[in-house]
């Protein structure tokens, strides 16, 4: 039997669910796509008339929303109705690391996946394909299947009594900031499943805009594991280059030259070799922690120790930045003003989850300095939540460790003793350093943790300069 998919529902209108469904709706005009979320406020934002107020900033996203919303793409908090009408349901809910209980600090918290499966089992009708989109520990599909299958046994809501579920794994490889391009032109699409019909139904959707040779089909467990491993390998590459950045600083080598030299080897490749303040984002740390947890679970201590080091190097890299700033500023930054440029975990997103800027700001605040933060897309309220500290409207003479939000680079840098670039926003590449330097307190310092500024221009402006990985 061939499935005829007409109606799709996605549970979770977040960074993954929103953009993924928008791109499906755009490329499959015959499909009805409903994105649901228990968070009504988030849904209201997705339905905002003013497209600059969407809950997520992604280049190219608002144009697609403009084109498809209200046509074949809808955002709603009526979870029950849209589950009942759907032929295919994507689970795109968040799966953070557990903060307490068994596996705290390592295992993924699956409570939202569990509750989504229960909602589906309560309201779905007929033959329904359930697709895991969230990154999940290996074998989660089994949990979902068990919950769904148990519901068939005592199903009362499906009057036709032909309830049947198929579970697929279809992890998302999009990176934030380039999500739309990654979804439109992915390197590959991965679909894991147990039966050909449901796999084919999902392949048919992607075939609308993706060449078939890029669609990889595997069994469920390979698909689930591959997503974790892809993220672990990417993160490991960053820890590797970051560890070498410190060695460059100590030896007089230059990380950008080392990157060029090693990246020219096709076997190594030149992507994902930018040394920085440590990786952030919702995935890398969580997924490696999960890998560590799974390895320990299967008694593979050496494997778990190996991946643990990737996280340790990452934390060390972030920590050493504040240490360095304090050292350069005569071993005290107490009551000095530091301008922090960038708060999102990478450029072109307003996402701040696990952003290295949070840790750097917290470390700086511990040293009793004043921080002015500027980010082109992150709202001050979000920064308050991340730092767990309200912003001061103006700096006071006797409070140590406070922060304020600035509306521009120039404003943030006035009277500052140092500037720290924490996110690689394009506008920070083109700062007029001579102009900025005039209003800074002297001796003025610039710490470029992303290696994005033109060294000659900074030197010409007379600012003392430190850049990651430059000996």
> Toward ligand UDX, which CB reaches closer, 437 or 470?
470
Is 283 one of the catalytic residues? Answer: yes
* Window 328 to 347, contacts with ligand UDX (CB under 6 A): 345-346
253 sits near ligand UDX (criterion: CB under 6 A): no
What's the min distance (Å) between Cβ of 356 and ligand UDX?
7
Binding to ligand UDX in span 263-282, by CB under 6 A: 272-274, 276, 279-282
- In the stretch 281-300, what mask flags binding to ligand UDX with x, by CB under 6 A? xxxx-x--------------
Q: CB of 57: closest distance to ligand UDX in angstroms? A: 12
Q: Which is nearer to ligand UDX, 38 or 457 (CB)?
A: 38
Counting Cα atoms < 13 Å in the Cβ hemisphere of 140 gives 34
The string over 23-39, giving b where at least 16 C-beta atoms fall within 10 Å of a residue's C-beta and e elsewhere, is: bbbbbbeebbbbbbbbe
Under a CB-based contact definition with an 8 Å cutoff, are residues 91 and 12 in contact? Answer: yes
Residue 80 or 435: the one with the smaller Cβ distance to ligand UDX is 80
317 touches ligand UDX by CB under 6 A: no
365 binds ligand UDX (CB under 6 A): no
- Indicate the residue whose CB is closest to ligand UDX: 14
Q: Is the Cβ of residue 127 or residue 226 nearer to ligand UDX in the bound state?
A: 226
Q: What is the dihedral of CA 54, 56, 61, 66, to 10 degrees?
A: -10
Nearer Cβ to ligand UDX (283/431): 283
Q: How many residues bind ligand UDX (CB under 6 A)?
A: 42
Q: What is the DSSP letter of 444?
A: P
Question: Would strands 164-169 and 402-405 be described as parallel, antiparallel, or unpaired?
Answer: unpaired
Give the interface segment with ligand UDX, choosing from 168-176, 311-319, 322-330, 394-402 (CB under 6 A): 168-176
Among 108-116, 207-215, 358-366, 395-403, which window interacts with ligand UDX (CB under 6 A)? Answer: 108-116
| Helices marked H in 298-377 | 301-328, 356-366
367 binds ligand UDX (CB under 6 A): no
Comparing CA positions, the residue from 463, 457, 452 lying closest to residue 276 is: 452
Selection from 391, 392, 395, 324 nearest residue 364 by Cα: 324
Nearest approach, Cβ of 88 to ligand UDX (angstroms)? 17
Can you tell me the distance from the alpha carbon of 443 to that of 461, in angstroms, rounded to the nearest whole number? 12
Least Cα distance to 444 among 418, 468, 420, 466 occurs for 418
Question: Least separation, in Å, of the C-beta of 103 and ligand UDX?
Answer: 16
Binding mask 128-167 for ligand UDX (x = CB under 6 A): -----xxx--------------------------------
Binding to ligand UDX, residues 11-30 (CB under 6 A): 11-17
Helices 220-251 and 140-153 cross at an angle (nearest 10°) of: 150
Q: Which of 283, 361, 369, 386 is catalytic?
A: 283
> Among residues 33 and 238, whose Cβ is nearest to ligand UDX?
238
Residue 467 parent element (H or E): strand 464-467
Does 417 engage in binding with ligand UDX (CB under 6 A)? no
Task: Please list, in sequence order, all residues whose beta carbon lies within 8 angstroms of the beta carbon of residue 102, skipping any fewer than 6 positions away.
Answer: none
Measure Cα distances from 47 to 51, 80, 292 in Å.
Answer: 9, 19, 40
By beta-carbon proximity to ligand UDX, the closer residue of 167 and 436 is: 167
Q: From the CB of 131, what's the least distance to ligand UDX, in Å? A: 12
Nearest to residue 128, comparing CAs of 101, 157, 108? 157
The answer to whether 314 contacts ligand UDX (rule: CB under 6 A) is no
- Collapsing DSSP to helix, strand or coil, 166 comes out as strand
Is the CB of 28 or the CB of 313 nearer to ligand UDX? 313
234 binds ligand UDX (CB under 6 A): yes
H helices of 167-265, in order, are 179-184, 196-206, 220-251, 255-263
Residues 6+ apart with CB under 8 A from 359: 278, 318, 319
Token pair of 279 as six digits: 């990786």
Candidates 32, 37, 58, 109; binder of ligand UDX (CB under 6 A) is: 37
Q: Does 95 bind ligand UDX (CB under 6 A)?
A: yes
Closest CA to 23 of 70, 78, 60, 49: 60
Specify the DSSP class assigned to residue 391. Answer: P
Nearer to ligand UDX, 127 or 467 (CB): 467
Contact residues for ligand UDX (CB under 6 A)?
11-17, 37-39, 42, 92-95, 112, 115-116, 133-135, 172-176, 231, 234, 238, 272-274, 276, 279-284, 286, 345-346
List the catalytic residues. 283
């Amino acid at each position: 039997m061939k499935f005829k998919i007409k109606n799709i529902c996605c549970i979770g209108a977040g960074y993954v669910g929103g953009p993924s469904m928008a791109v499906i709706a755009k490329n499959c005009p015959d499909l009805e796509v409903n994105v649901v979320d228990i968070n009504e406020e988030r849904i209201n934002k997705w339905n905002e008339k003013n497209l600059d107020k969407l809950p997520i900033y992604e280049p190219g996203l608002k144009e697609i929303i403009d084109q498809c919303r209200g046509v074949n793409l809808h955002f709603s908090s009526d979870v029950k109705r849209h589950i009942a009408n759907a032929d295919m349901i994507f689970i795109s809910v968040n799966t953070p690391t557990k903060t307490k209980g068994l596996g705290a600090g390592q295992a993924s918290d699956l409570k939202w996946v569990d509750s989504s499966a229960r909602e589906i089992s309560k309201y779905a009708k007929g033959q329904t394909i359930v697709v895991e989109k969230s990154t999940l520990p290996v074998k989660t599909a089994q949990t979902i299947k068990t919950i769904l299958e148990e519901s068939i046994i005592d199903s009362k809501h499906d009057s036709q009594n032909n309830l049947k579920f198929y579970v697929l794994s279809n992890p998302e490889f999009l990176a934030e900031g380039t999500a739309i391009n990654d979804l439109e032109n992915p390197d590959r699409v991965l679909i894991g499943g147990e039966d050909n019909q449901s796999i084919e139904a999902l392949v048919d959707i992607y075939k609308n805009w993706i060449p078939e040779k890029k669609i990889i089909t595997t069994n469920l467990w390979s698909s689930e594991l591959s997503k974790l491993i892809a993220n672990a390998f990417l993160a490991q590459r960053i820890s590797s280059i970051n560890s070498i950045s410190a060695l460059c600083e100590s030896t007089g080598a230059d990380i950008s030259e080392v990157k060029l030299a090693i990246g020219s080897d096709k076997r190594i490749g030149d992507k994902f070799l930018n040394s920085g303040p440590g990786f952030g984002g919702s995935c890398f740390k969580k997924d490696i922690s999960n890998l560590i947890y799974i390895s320990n679970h299967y008694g593979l201590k050496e494997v778990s120790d190996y991946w643990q080091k990737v996280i340790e190097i990452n934390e060390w890299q972030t920590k050493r930045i504040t240490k360095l700033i304090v050292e350069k500023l005569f071993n005290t930054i107490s009551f000095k003003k530091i301008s922090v440029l960038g708060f999102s975990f990478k450029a072109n997103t307003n996402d701040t989850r696990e952003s290295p800027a949070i840790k750097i700001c917290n470390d700086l605040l511990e040293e009793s300095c004043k921080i002015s933060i500027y980010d082109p897309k992150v709202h001050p309220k979000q920064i308050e939540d991340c730092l767990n500290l309200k912003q001061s409207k103006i700096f006071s003479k006797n409070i140590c460790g406070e922060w304020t939000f600035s509306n521009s680079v120039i404003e943030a840098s006035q009277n500052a003793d140092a500037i720290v670039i924490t996110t690689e926003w394009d506008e920070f590449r083109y700062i007029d350093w001579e102009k900025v330097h005039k209003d800074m307190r002297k001796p003025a310092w610039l710490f470029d943790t992303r290696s994005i500024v033109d060294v000659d221009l900074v030197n010409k402006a007379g600012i003392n300069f430190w850049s990651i990985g430059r000996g």
